[in-house]
Structure 1
Amino acid sequence: MKALEAQRRLADITASQWGMVTARQAEAVGVGHLELSRLARGGHLERLEHGIYRDSGAPADHLEYLRAAWLSTEPDHLAGDRLRDRENGVVISGRSAATVHRIGDLREGAHEFTSPDRRQTRRPDIRYRKRILPHDAVVVRDGLPVVTPEQTILDLINDGEDLTLIAQAVRDATNDRLDQDAIASRLTATDARRYGIKSAADLWENILQNAHLDDRSLADEVAAGPIGSLVAEIYLRQLQQTIAKYPAEEVRKLTENILPDSAKTAIQSVLAEAASPRLPALPALEIVRAKLAASAHADNTAVSRNIARAIGAGRIGGSPTAARKADDADES
């Protein structure tokens, strides 16, 4: 067979498989090993690995060898046919899935795949795990069947990967709308014990803290950004409006009796500059909020509890718990 005819027969296959073809797919259209070797020697094909070739004119990318490995797992079948029944076939998982999703900084060693059937291979660069995946746990990314980012994170935890690397993967995946609740709900006590952590909930909180995605880290991130100053302005103006409802002399007495010097200064600034666009520093007023919400000083009970209730009701960013405590104190 002439080279031009062999290339024509292979073109329909390579066009739908990233420029790649397996030796068995080529044989099915009448292009044997001899013709493949001639095309490779002539520079028309490039041999990627045993039984896998790529059209020399096709672009290469960072997933090239993973694609070749995936094709080699079922060399008789075309990629398009396999994708139509992807959850019942070989699916990319583990570190290899993290590479496809571009999450984390995990170096890919062996190519990792999941199959519903038990598989064995002599290739040291391929690793299989046997399990049946639900339909919603598999997606197509860059033309490859791969477990979802959520399942990828769970695989990494199950494999005992370093928590710092897992946290980086979680942070990266969050930009792709990662369903954190889906991961947290599937973690087990066994997963936690693998890392010497007490519970599944503590394990997830540890990961979020390392990823700087816990509540405190997110609050700090918001505060440090452009929106932080807007939130602070709204918070402080609401605090000004709340305090302004009470006699200034009573509030001054309150600050003198129960608040530390830093908080006294902040409250006095609010009272003195209520009409000014310049606002006191947020950290000092956060101390004010905490102290007012918890205070039950005998000489200023009504003022303290009313302000605590306003704060706790959420009008100036406090916790409803503080309001309930104030109500309970009033009833007693």
Structure 2
Amino acid sequence: MNRGEQLAVLSGAAAEQWGLVTAAQAKRLGLNAVQLLRLTEAGLTENVSRGVYLVTAAGMPTGLEAKAAWLRLQPKEFAWDRPAGHPDSGVLSHATACQLHELGDIPAPEVDITVPRRRTTTEPFVRLRTAALDKQEITIVDGLPTTTVDRTITDLLRAKADGGHVGRAIADAERRGMISLDDLAEAVSPYNRRYGLSAAADGRDLIEHLVSQAGQSLLRHDMDRASQQGFNEAVNRMQAHVAKNISALQEHVLPRTGLYAGLDEALAQVATNYTSLAQTMQEIARTPPRLDELLQRMSQTPPALTEFFSNLAAPAHPFESRFRSASALQQYSSLPPATRSALERAAAAGASRRGPGAAAHPGADQEPAAGPDEPHHPDEDEDEDEDEDETRKQPEQ
């Protein structure tokens, strides 16, 4: 490969690793140490750390020391082949994680890397810490596996970092919405005694203590103070505005209209009218005793009216109850007056022999005596025969 091809091969790998490539990775790509040295002498690459080269055309990345130290943990492996949480891949933590998250101003003279198992390094500015991390405690910042903000703060408290520095990091994280104070308070509560708080203190007390040490304040407290201050200012302005309007009303409007002198009298008159109106409504609501008595009497049916309706329901004459059809009643009405009188006398005489109850309701088997002028009807003879047959059959049943 000529120099251009060598640079193209290195640039393809470095583009996925912040413009960086290790000597071991370059060897995997087909470049030896002599070729790397010649590229460096030509100004196409730059040796930024032991065994780590920067492709000059890519530009200097931020957090160079942390990225170079993380690449050296596994120099042969490319970044895309090192998933977060891999047993041999470290996670940036503690003060280095604070710098990557851009929280506070805590100094980081060393690159802090947490590894899942004990390891050693000969790098003078790299500190390896051993701890088991859950996947929920690892996030990616600028392509680097980094501890989350909550885990970073608890790591700093566990390592007894300066309280002011930690408080500044907490304040910045809270203002940027990167943490939940309730969750963080529960996580940091075991470290109260390390920072001079009593055993009765809780995690919130420790957070406020650290933030106050940093000379900072939480956004929530600032918002509460701002809200209270704004509310007080609004109330004061409203009171001043109302007082100004009342003063102008008393000074200019009321004297000119003549209302000021009679204002108290008008208000008293309104109160009196209101009391009279209330008493009137109460009197209207109460029903007079005479009206109650009248309504009760109207709801009862008079005895005379009851007797009148009873007479209407009764038959007009006891003898007329014998006729169950309109045609029979019509035939009876067409008889001569003398015949009708004879029939009524005969019916009255029969009722007197049976008793008073039978006179009101004569039996169906009783027939009026035929007078000398009564015409003969064959249909009535047939009805009488049927009645006699039914009379004879009744004992058999």
TM-score band, normalised by the shorter chain?
Answer: 0.5 to 0.7
Structure 1 CA distance for aligned equivalents of residues 225 and 189 of structure 2: 30
1:160 aligned residue: 160
CA spacing shift, 1:196–1:233, aligned 2, 3 Å:
closer
Unaligned runs of 5+ in 1: 241-268, 277-332
What's the counterpart of residue 180 of structure 1? Answer: 181
Shift of 1:30: 1.0
Q: CA deviation at 1:216?
A: 5.0
After TM superposition, the score normalised by the length of structure 2 is: 0.55
Q: Which residue of 1 aligns with 2:334?
A: none
Helix, strand or coil: the match of 1:120?
A: coil
Percent same amino acid at aligned positions? Answer: 29
Q: How far 1:62 sits from its partner (Å)? A: 3.2
Q: Unpaired runs of 5+ in structure 2?
A: 247-397
Question: Residues 115, 221 of structure 1: CA spacing in aligned structure 2 closer, same or farther, 3 A cutoff?
Answer: farther
**1:75 partnered with 2:75:** yes
Corresponding position of 1:8: 8
- In 2, the alpha carbon distance for the partners of 1:102 and 1:63 equals 11
Equivalent in the alignment of 1:24: 24
Counterpart of 2:224? 219
In structure 2, relative to structure 1, the CA distance for the partners of 1:10 and 1:208 (3 Å cut) is: same
Aligned to 1:123: 123
* Partner Cα separation in structure 2 for residue 207 and residue 217 of structure 1: 16
Give the alignment of 1:134-283 within 5 angstroms. Answer: 134-177=134-177, 178-189=179-190, 191-198=191-198, 199-201=201-203, 202-210=205-213, 211-213=216-218, 216-223=221-228, 228-229=229-230, 231-232=231-232, 273=243
**Aligned position for 2:275:** none
Contact 2:45 2:53 in 1 (8 A): yes
Return the letter of the residue paired with 2:46. Answer: E
Amino acid at match of 2:170: V
State the shift of 1:73 in Å. 1.2
Q: Secondary structure at the match of 1:6?
A: helix
Is contact 1:87–1:133 with CA below 8 Å preserved after alignment? no
Could you tell me how far apart the structure 1 residues matched to 2:165 and 2:138 are?
Answer: 22
Q: Which residue of 2 aligns with 1:40?
A: 40
Distance 1:221 1:103 in 2: 24
Write the letter of the residue equivalent to 1:205.
E
Q: Structure 1's 274 and 23: CA in aligned 2 closer, same or farther, altered over 3 A? A: same
Q: CA deviation at 1:219?
A: 2.6
What residue is the counterpart of 1:265 in the other structure? none
Q: Name the aligned partner's letter for residue 243 of structure 2.
A: E
Give the Cα–Cα distance (whole angstroms) in 2 for the partners of residues 222 and 72 of structure 1. Answer: 52
Name which structure has the greater RCO, CA cutoff 8 Å, separation 6+. Answer: 1
Contact 2:84 2:138 in 1 (8 A): no
Q: In 1, are the aligned partners of 2:114 and 2:130 still within 8 Å (CA)? A: yes
Deviation string 1:47-73 (CA, Å, 9 cap, x unpaired) is 011110000111214312211111111
Over 3 Å counting, the alpha-carbon distance change for 1:158 and 1:46 in structure 2 is: same
SS of 1:53's equivalent in the other structure is: strand
What is the aligned residue count? 240
**Partner Cα separation in structure 2 for residue 126 and residue 85 of structure 1:** 19
**Superposition pairs of residues 307-326 of structure 1, within 5 angstroms:** none
Change (3 A) 1:216 1:172: closer
Query: What letter matches 1:107 in structure 2?
Result: P
Structure 1 residue 95, shift from structure 2 partner: 0.5
Structure 2: distance between partners of 1:61 and 1:85: 21
CA distance in 1, matches of 2:131, 2:37: 38
Alignment partners' CA distance in 1, 2:189 and 2:168: 21
Amino acid at match of 2:53: Y
Call closer, same or farther: CA 1:222–1:109 in 2, change over 3 Å. Answer: farther
- CA deviations on 1:187-246 (whole Å, 9 max, x unpaired) are 243x222222214433223124443118655433445xxxx43x3366679xx9xxxxxx
Local SS of the residue matching 1:113: strand
TM-score with structure 1 setting the length? 0.65
Q: Which runs of 4+ in 1 moved over 4 A?
A: 214-218, 233-237
Conserved in 2, the CA contact under 8 Å of 1:209 and 1:217? no
Secondary structure of the residue that 1:96 maps to in structure 2?
A: helix
1:125 Cα offset (Å) = 0.4
The residue aligned with 1:263 is: none
Deviations 1:4-39 (A, max 9, x none): 221122122111111110111111111111111111
Partners of 1:176 and 1:38 in 2: how far apart?
Answer: 47
Change (3 A) 1:21 1:77: same
User: Which is worse superposed, 61-70 or 99-108?
Assistant: 61-70
Provide the secondary structure at the position in 2 that maps to 1:31: coil
